[in-house]
Structure 1
Amino acid sequence: MRRFFVGIQVPESIGDRLLRLEQVLKPRVPVKRWYGVEQFHITTNFLGELEDAGFEQAVRALKVASSHPVFSLSLEGVGVFPNARVVWGGVGGETDKLALLQKDLGEAFRPLGAEKYAKPQFIPHITLARTGDLSGVDLSGVDLGRILEDSFWLVDSACMFESVLDPAGARYPVVHKVPLVNK
């Protein structure tokens, strides 16, 4: 079986900014392997392992995204989830529209059992690295300079990604995409 999740692609121009952000964070965070541009995304819904029939059902359920309007997001801050051992870049902009998309997708994926993976609260973020102990890491004083200024981008589709584990690092190819409504 293959593992899947649904989310938002991050454009390469924003990925380049995230790479610069990683350079600023490297001296402060003990990480061996940082994510690259091809790995950056915003996860909205984790689907877990699916057989072929489940994959086809998920593709049909993803169509609910086509009723949602295009919206704008931006980079906003940095932080860590110590329990999950994740260093992240924050997401701002029209996060209310992103949250509504995430909620509607969650309902659409309920027949697949996706609610067992749902978090109590949706916190949009872009994972920069997964690492060991982050309990002593404080990023509150990090000078982000101009990295996050004017970092808006339009979200015009929701994507289903496959999570492919690889010794060189996880890969997340897009296996299906549904356009949002351009109102």
Structure 2
Amino acid sequence: MSDTHYFVAAVLPQEFKQHIERYYSILKDALPFQRWVHPEDLHLTLAFLGKSGQEQLQKLVHDLNLLLQEKQAFSVTLHGLSTFGKVTSPRVLWCGIKRKDELFSIQKAVYNICTQNGYALDQRPYSPHITLARKWLSEEPFRENTPVASAFTEEFSYKIKIKEIAIYKTCLNRTPKYNPIHKFQLLT
């Protein structure tokens, strides 16, 4: 096994990725983070797997296919910006997702399949979000209620249709760095 990591995530529609890319220049000017997530790398994580052998991945693909072939596509609603880490110097800037039963149901089922396949997953409660940037750079403290953040929150309170789930492979030496190695279509 290499240092390659894998995760299972809801695939975000291309139109959302293009839409958010238009806001990146505004956000980047107002919110100085070290690394911004490439628009093609935007996703909604369901389970972080870490390292994996090919046999284990093949079994997971089989089991997730059985699980997801009967699941319906669903919508999620974006809900504001927030952070992880120190309030004044956060390590992650993210866009929240309003609670949606369908999302939590699929995440729980995916989580259970992953643990049954031998993956040691995070035990914390699921907190759905889309990571936008990492590592605050400014000497000035971060402020969540800036005019830019408020405008972003108002603009991004809309629904995204989730039609696919994927297993992604992390390729640290590439941009974009997340490569979907298997996609599962949800029923529409």
Give the TM-score range, shorter chain.
0.7 to 0.9
Output the CA distance in 2 between the equivalents of 1:54 and 1:140.
44
2:145 aligns with 140
Which among 81, 95, 98 is matched to residue 100 of structure 2? Answer: 95
Total equivalences in the alignment: 178
Equivalent pairs: percent with the same residue?
A: 25
Deviates more, 1:104-113 or 1:138-147: 138-147
Alignment of 1:28-177 (within 5 A): 28-63=30-65, 64-82=67-85, 85-92=91-98, 95-114=100-119, 116-132=120-136, 136-141=141-146, 142-144=149-151, 147-149=155-157, 151-166=158-173, 169=175, 171-177=177-183
Output the CA distance in 2 between the equivalents of 1:60 and 1:40.
25
Output the CA distance in 2 between the equivalents of 1:119 and 1:19.
32
Deviates more, 1:68-77 or 1:27-36: 27-36
Question: Structure 1: which amino acid aligns with 2:44?
Answer: I
Local SS of the residue matching 1:85: strand
2:15 aligns with 13
Output the CA distance in 2 between the equivalents of 1:121 and 1:69.
23
1:4 aligns to 2:10 (yes or no) = no
- TM-score (normalised: structure 2): 0.82
Output the CA distance in 2 between the equivalents of 1:110 and 1:82.
27
1:179 aligns to 2:181 (yes or no) = no
Output the CA distance in 1 between the equivalents of 2:135 and 2:84.
10
- TM-score (normalised: structure 1): 0.84
Local SS of the residue matching 2:106: helix
What is the root-mean-square deviation in Å for CA atoms of aligned residues? 2.5
How far did 1:101 drift? 0.4
How far did 1:169 drift? 4.8
**Structure 1 unaligned spans of 5+:** none
How far did 1:4 drift? 1.0
How far did 1:30 drift? 2.8
How far did 1:124 drift? 1.0
Local SS of the residue matching 1:75: strand
How far did 1:118 drift? 1.9
**Structure 2 unaligned spans of 5+:** none
How far did 1:119 drift? 4.2
- Report if aligned partners of 1:39, 1:170 keep a CA contact under 8 Å in 2: yes
How far did 1:26 drift? 2.4
Output the CA distance in 2 between the equivalents of 1:137 and 1:60.
44
Deviations 1:157-177 (A, max 9, x none): 2111111112x6561111111
